Amino acid sequence: MTDAVWENITNHFTEEEAVSLLAKLVSFPSHEGISQQETEAATFIYEFFRKEGIDTELIPVLDGRCNVIARLKGDGDGRNLLFTGHTDTVPPYDMKGNPYEARIDQGKMYGRGVVDMKAGLVCMMLAMAAIKRAGVTLSGDLIFAGVIDEEAKSEGTRAFLRSGELPDAAIVSEPSNLQICIGHRGLEWFEFTFYGKTVHGGRQKEGINAIQKAMMFIHELEAELIPAIEKRTNPVVGSSSMNYGYIRGGTQPSTVAGDCILQIDRRWIPGEKFTQIKEEYQKVLDRLSASDPNFKADFKVMDISYMDDDYIHEALDTSAEEDIVRIAETAVEAVMGKGGALTSFPAWTDGGLINYYGKVPTIILGPGELGSAHSADEHIEISALVPAVSIYCRIACEYCS
């Protein structure tokens, strides 16, 4: 990109416009429990692109909830790049005041969804608009996908993948503090149910205590499986992990527990196979059942996590040698004055689906710190917005050229 072209593009977006768009997008509640959850936010994005003269459409996905897709057409001779992020948020939980009224204080904007991840969406919207306003024609298509349901079952990204119109590379604008994330762990939530026999506590020997059976299982995991899991490492992502998140059993102290439920979070590195992960847990259950005729248990992917079309929350694994990574490094260095560090993203993203199932080289690159996401004081530094727009513009102009 020549200096003249770049100066022309930068003249077509401002921090003030980014702040205004972000405040407006935050004003649309888009969490679970809202009728048609993300569609009001998606409609706002749709109208923005329509006014900019960029081809756009609302795509119904589920129960009146819509993805918003926009396309800045190239002349047909270049590679296609996807800008994507989710339009849903988590609920406000314990946020004080009006969580949908963006508040600015000491250079930060506060509000639900402001960093996770409506700021990333706004910066991508403005980058596409700035390229269009500047009259720059790309060779390949620049595509925007604002998708539903990432905080649950990723219905939006799964629908986009099923459409079959896959790009040559993708950027997910989750808050990475403008670091380039080329990997993250896969994620699934499992629920184990242990079965016992309920009797009065005064006759406990006649019962079978499901809590005790759960304890046996946990002991086996601690002794063998968890140490093995934690030894599995990836040079970018780090180690695999497992967390006990929830346990409930029985009804009251003087009754032998007839059932016990244990829920865990299992995160795996690229290269681990989901079928093998399930087999490892099944082998522990089988071993305990063989040694104790009263041990009965089963497990499944939790309903809240289960995707009914056989998708799972797979890991992201993009090679540092991919063109999209190299171009992103150059763009970050040009805008920030220092090279973009290649790292992993600490949470799961839709990028795992795009990369694993779509076979699309994908990076996570967005403004803001992940640390305040989902919290009572969710915020973003306003000073991060213009650099993010600039980086997206540079990547698009180089990759789609």
Nearest to 26 by CA among 391, 388, 392, 380: 380
Q: Is 145 strand, coil or helix?
A: strand
Mean pLDDT of the chain: 96
Token pair 């997008």 is found at: 25
| CATH architecture of the domain formed by 3-184+315-399 | 3-Layer(aba) Sandwich (3.40)
Residue 196: the pLDDT is 98
Residue 165: the pLDDT is 84
Residue-wise pLDDT for 18-51, tens only, equals 999 999 999 999 999 999 999 999 999 999 999 9
Q: Which helix (H) or strand (E) holds 234?
A: strand 233-234
- How far the first Cα of the chain sits from its last, in Å, is 9
Q: Is the CATH number of domain 188-301 1.10.760.10?
A: no
Residue 35: the pLDDT is 94
Please, are residues 41 and 87 in contact by the beta-carbon 8 Å criterion?
Answer: yes
For the cut 80, the answer to whether the pLDDT of residue 340 exceeds it is no
DSSP letter at 166 equals -
Residue type, 64: G
Nearest to 25 by CA among 76, 74, 88, 79: 88
Please, are residues 369 and 175 in contact by the beta-carbon 8 Å criterion?
Answer: yes
Residue-wise pLDDT for 369-384, tens only, equals 999 999 999 999 999 9
Strand partners, 309: none
Residue 135: the pLDDT is 95
Nearest to 146 by CA among 68, 54, 51: 68
Instruction: Report domain extents, the chain.
Output: 3-184+315-399, 188-301
For the cut 90, the answer to whether the pLDDT of residue 201 exceeds it is no
241-249 long-range contacts, CB within 8 A, separation 24+: 241/185, 241/265, 241/266, 241/267, 242/266, 242/267, 244/218, 245/189, 247/214, 249/194, 249/210, 249/211, 249/214
- pTM value is 0.95
Tell me the pLDDT band of 347, cut-offs 50, 70 and 90. very high
Nearest to 151 by CA among 350, 358, 332: 350
Residue-wise pLDDT for 55-80, tens only, equals 999 999 999 999 999 999 999 889 99
For the cut 70, the answer to whether the pLDDT of residue 1 exceeds it is no
Nearest to 305 by CA among 221, 191, 218, 214: 191
DSSP letter at 118 equals I
Query: Exposed, middle or buried by CB within 10 Å (0-12, 13-18, 19+), for 76?
Result: exposed
Residue 280: the pLDDT is 98
Residue 77: the pLDDT is 84
Residue 6: the pLDDT is 81
Catalogue the active-site residues: 88, 150
Q: CB count, 10 Å around CB of 44?
A: 18
Residue-wise pLDDT for 287-310, tens only, equals 999 999 999 999 999 998 899 878
